[in-house]
Structure 1
Amino acid sequence: MDEKTPRSASSAIATATASLWETLRPYAGRVVVTYYVAVLFGVNDGAFGVILPRIKTHYGVNEAVVSVLFLCNTAGYLSAAFVNGLIVHRLGQSGALYLGASSHLLSYILLLVAAPFPAMAVFMLFLGFGMALEDAGVNVVVAEMPYATTLLNLLHAFYGFGALIGPIIASALFADSLSWNVVYMILGGLALINLIALFVIFRRISPADLTHRHASTPPTDPSSTPIKTPTHLLRAAFSLRVTYLGALFLLAYVGVEVTIGGWVYSFLTEIRGGDTVRMGPLVSLYWLGLTFGRVVLGWVTGKFGEKRMIYLYLVVTVGGVLVVWLVETVEVDAAMLFVVGAALGPVFPTTISIASQVVPKELFASSVGFLTAFGSGGAALFPWLTGTIAVRYGIWIMMPFSIALVVVMFAFWIFIPSPKKPAEQLAAKEGALASSETVVRVEGESGEGTIV
């Protein structure tokens, strides 16, 4: 009997693994390419914090002026947030991804030439627009798949992995006395692979295969369900509490995440007096913590409850930032950066996971696309504010500023709805769609009614 038990356990694991593979095999290409997009985003954000002081020196500007790059990037993100739903309706989710990836690649090519600063600012706007479309698209695509919560956590973990290697790449270039814009040569090559991979994978996927079929909202028959015009869909999506509060919550969250990741290198070199080459890998500890949090703590979050665990993570984040701010030892700061990264790690994917459970399927792409793109605008808005304030008070101001953003997150999280039971979700869906007066059918390529 003792010999059979391990064999039975091994057999059960093998059967479960085979079943998991059979379920996810049709989505394998989409998983790989969306995770690659996440890595590219991470490398972009992780490297930018390290090259920022070099950009400032190259153009001979202070923190307030160089922070305009963040502001223009924000404008790109926010503009994409408000038109993402319309673009998806016109071009489909695949078309929106192609457009975003094309803008992304073009922006890197333009940034590579190190044009005059005003032109750089304009290029950052196009970069933000393209990345926002991709960001919204990959989150929606992954959330449509089976095991969406696990896959979303891994998606954002791959972002953390990219952000982990970004500072290492930038620091290695500086160690070889190469210019800051060489980073954009590398990023441009990665973005070209990204565009080609998206086209290869998604060109064979019909719009119907990208509709919301795997969230916990009850399925409906598209031939009998009235579907609103794009304007009505957007209006209905924005009326949901999880859409507008989730967008504001993620705006603050991404602001904290990228403010720390983008400015802590300057904090460690200017305030702590750290070596400019050695501090790059130390910043990577923060992104390593972010990756760890999304891989490991994502499971813990689901097991013990999303709402209560996010409260805990926010408290830990405040404590870790306080230590980095007040303890003047670089080694302690590095350890706490890992802790802060780990605490922040599960927050974004957990928010998307909750939205996938509470948003009606007809409104899912519009709702999650908006809150993802709008929220990601925090990656530029709050680092810009940090740099502007730092001109007067010094870069140390990033620490209390980050704490204030976490407090704002805490307040918004109180009002984020908890995942509902299927019956409650159905009632919420009917209420969200009840105000429709104009009903149309959106014809897919196969002639069936679909939401694209």
Structure 2
Amino acid sequence: MSLSSLHPAFASPIIAPGKSSTTGMPGSSSRTSFSLARSSSRASKSSIPVENGSPTTTMEHSTLPVIDKNSEIEMGSLGERAMEEGGKEGSVRASAGPGGLELDSKGRRPIILGGREEKIVLASLFFTMFLAGWNDSSIGPLLLPMREYYNISLTIVSLTFVFNFIGFLIAAVANVWLTDKFGFGKTITLGATCQMVAYALQCWAPPFPLFCFSFVISGIGMGLQDAQANAFVARLPNMLIKMSILHAVYGFGAMVCPLISTQFSKMPNWYYHYLCSLAVAIINFASLLFVFRLRTENSILGTHPEEQLANAEGNGPDDSGATMLKIMKTKSVHLFAFFTLFYVGLEVTIGGWMVAYLIEVRGGTANSGYISTGFFGGLTLGRLVFIDLNRRLGERRAIYFYTAVALGLEFIVWFVPSLVGSAVAVSFVGLLLGPFYPIIMSVVSKILPRSLQGGAIGWIACFGQGGSAFFPFVTGVLASKHGVEVMPPVVVGMLVGLYILWFFTPKAPRHDQ
């Protein structure tokens, strides 16, 4: 294969300063960065005179281009500088060897997919989702001690969910603009910074208004990280498997956290739990900064083929306002966003209020907080063990099947007065709810055009994450008026809502299922 096929710059013949080319073209007085001789179809080698203050050199036809001593480019390494300066990061293309790799404006190549570099990138995003799960499940065992410490009602305690929801909505609206303005790396790192600030406020139990406001900051941070991580993984090969693992790690974080927060719930200084959360958030921030180095998505993964084609045809990407307008006009995006809102709200309502229900209605002790671990443990397992079953059933039938069985189990929690029976049923509900989120993201990536996928997935993830605040708040208000025993019927109603909403969501292309 000739090098001219790898990059157009290699198609021109070698022209040493002041000399004629091997093909008989006149000499050039301008200094060139590099050039390459075309070999004759009858000869496999060419002798190429290079005036470099050194003897004439013979160069194999298949070797890299000749570089003169004043060239600003050092070939032979993947970290070489780009030949052009300026422009958006990721917009400069230069050959970096046999693969014709795309370099950004700082000379950094994309990662090599399927190898060690992709694993490192995924590991960093997995830890981000571990923190997301940790964050969502931490408050469940702390609700009752929080109420006693501040001497407030369950309705007032539930305001923490409202402020968290406000944060998620801000992140949902701002995500597209931030991504367009600053790129993937800076936006996800900004989210990690917000998360650290929130935990730094919560760990000393400030006055309740400030404690509530910290949940706005936490919602913004978690919303941005969740949106960026989902949109990034959606671009990778074998997306469904990787998305399943990504959200399995979310479930693992949600499973681990109650083991720790339950211990702190027994202590007068229950808010010291947020010191542990702060430590996890600092590790997450350092990981994102070190692995991604504030780079854009195209700088890390390379320009998507659809974007390359659009750029070649003169149809560059829309600005953030135009992209957001298109997303807001797409009906399917809103259907999936509301489905995700119900789904995330359902899992966090169960994980958050189930502990209070089992203590006050089923006569459990403070150790009932560990049941929340069982629920999120099932959630984690379901996202891994049902991958093959999801493929066999198809995405639509899988959701219908899991929802129907989960409804049956939730009736057991509602009507069977057994602490152990409720605990087991809740764990299996988690197992069945596990595959929902990866399936949602898989379908969205199939039905939306590439130009809208990043922003749409970000919007769906952020808006949906708002469910983790909105529905637990509604449950708290109802529990304050009618008692915690309202939790099972609320969960049943949400499951029915999921079933109905899934009926109206568009189907993915049949060949993809």
Superposition TM-score, scaled by structure 1 size: 0.85
1:56 maps to which of 134, 147, 156: 147
Stretch moving more, 231-240 or 328-337:
231-240
Letter in 2 for 1:195: F
77 and 22 in structure 1: CA distance in 2 versus 1, 3 angstrom threshold: closer
Contiguous gaps of at least 5 residues in structure 2: 1-111
CA distance in 2, matches of 1:317, 1:383: 19
Cα offset, 1:227, TM superposition: 2.2
Give 2:171's aligned residue: 80
| Structure 2 counterparts to residues 145-160 of structure 1, below 5 A | 145-160=236-251
Give 2:327's aligned residue: 237
CA distance in 2, matches of 1:329, 1:214: 54
Give 1:71's aligned residue: 162
Give 1:419's aligned residue: 508
CA distance in 2, matches of 1:26, 1:135: 21
CA distance in 2, matches of 1:421, 1:315: 23
CA distance in 2, matches of 1:136, 1:212: 20
| Structure 2 counterparts to residues 85-96 of structure 1, below 5 A | 85-96=176-187
Superposed CA deviations along residues 303-356 of structure 1, whole A, max 9, x for unmatched, are: 220001101111112111111111111111111011100111011111011111
CA distance in 2, matches of 1:144, 1:69: 34
Is 1:129 aligned to residue 227 of structure 2? no
The secondary structure found in structure 2 opposite 1:291 is: helix
Cα offset, 1:298, TM superposition: 2.8
The secondary structure found in structure 2 opposite 1:228 is: coil
Cα offset, 1:29, TM superposition: 1.7
Letter in 2 for 1:294: R
2:391 maps to which of 302, 322, 328: 302
Letter in 2 for 1:49: G
274 and 157 in structure 1: CA distance in 2 versus 1, 3 angstrom threshold: same
CA distance in 1, matches of 2:241, 2:303: 16
Aligned pair count reads 400
The secondary structure found in structure 1 opposite 2:312 is: coil
Cα offset, 1:205, TM superposition: 4.2
Superposed CA deviations along residues 226-283 of structure 1, whole A, max 9, x for unmatched, are: 422211111112222331100000001111110000000000111111011x212222
Letter in 2 for 1:188: L
CA distance in 1, matches of 2:458, 2:321: 15
The answer to whether the Cα contact below 8 Å between 2:190 and 2:221 also exists between their aligned partners in 1 is yes
94 and 190 in structure 1: CA distance in 2 versus 1, 3 angstrom threshold: same
2:192 maps to which of 97, 101, 105: 101
Is 1:23 aligned to residue 114 of structure 2? yes
Cα offset, 1:24, TM superposition: 4.2
The secondary structure found in structure 2 opposite 1:419 is: coil
Cα offset, 1:218, TM superposition: 9.8
The secondary structure found in structure 1 opposite 2:205 is: coil
The secondary structure found in structure 2 opposite 1:274 is: coil
CA distance in 2, matches of 1:332, 1:136: 36
Give 1:445's aligned residue: none
CA distance in 2, matches of 1:338, 1:245: 28
The answer to whether the Cα contact below 8 Å between 1:144 and 1:212 also exists between their aligned partners in 2 is no
2:465 maps to which of 376, 390, 406: 376
Which is helix-richer, 1 or 2?
1
The answer to whether the Cα contact below 8 Å between 1:153 and 1:346 also exists between their aligned partners in 2 is yes
Cα offset, 1:222, TM superposition: 3.0
The answer to whether the Cα contact below 8 Å between 1:146 and 1:214 also exists between their aligned partners in 2 is no
Give 1:171's aligned residue: 262
The secondary structure found in structure 2 opposite 1:227 is: coil
Letter in 1 for 2:189: Y
The answer to whether the Cα contact below 8 Å between 2:310 and 2:316 also exists between their aligned partners in 1 is no
Give 1:115's aligned residue: 206
CA distance in 1, matches of 2:242, 2:290: 21
* Higher relative contact order (CA closer than 8 Å, sequence separation 6+): 1
Q: Percent identity at matched positions? A: 31
The answer to whether the Cα contact below 8 Å between 2:382 and 2:434 also exists between their aligned partners in 1 is yes
Letter in 1 for 2:407: V
The answer to whether the Cα contact below 8 Å between 2:185 and 2:294 also exists between their aligned partners in 1 is no
CA distance in 2, matches of 1:303, 1:200: 39
Give 1:280's aligned residue: 369
CA distance in 2, matches of 1:237, 1:297: 31
Stretch moving more, 196-205 or 391-400:
196-205
219 and 293 in structure 1: CA distance in 2 versus 1, 3 angstrom threshold: farther
58 and 417 in structure 1: CA distance in 2 versus 1, 3 angstrom threshold: same
Cα offset, 1:407, TM superposition: 1.4
CA distance in 2, matches of 1:359, 1:210: 22
Cα offset, 1:302, TM superposition: 2.2
Is 1:322 aligned to residue 411 of structure 2? yes
Give 1:248's aligned residue: 338
The answer to whether the Cα contact below 8 Å between 1:145 and 1:214 also exists between their aligned partners in 2 is no
1:344 maps to which of 433, 436, 441: 433
Superposed CA deviations along residues 27-77 of structure 1, whole A, max 9, x for unmatched, are: 112100111011111122222101111111100011100000000000000
The secondary structure found in structure 1 opposite 2:386 is: helix
CA distance in 2, matches of 1:315, 1:53: 32
The answer to whether the Cα contact below 8 Å between 2:141 and 2:265 also exists between their aligned partners in 1 is no
Stretch moving more, 231-240 or 245-254:
231-240
The answer to whether the Cα contact below 8 Å between 1:42 and 1:161 also exists between their aligned partners in 2 is yes
Contiguous gaps of at least 5 residues in structure 1: 1-20, 425-452
The answer to whether the Cα contact below 8 Å between 2:307 and 2:451 also exists between their aligned partners in 1 is no
Give 2:135's aligned residue: 44
Give 1:360's aligned residue: 449
Is 1:401 aligned to residue 490 of structure 2? yes
Give 1:264's aligned residue: 354
CA distance in 2, matches of 1:408, 1:210: 39
CA distance in 1, matches of 2:350, 2:272: 24
Is 1:200 aligned to residue 290 of structure 2? yes
CA distance in 2, matches of 1:89, 1:112: 34
CA distance in 2, matches of 1:94, 1:288: 30
> Which structure has the greater CA radius of gyration?
2
Letter in 2 for 1:406: L
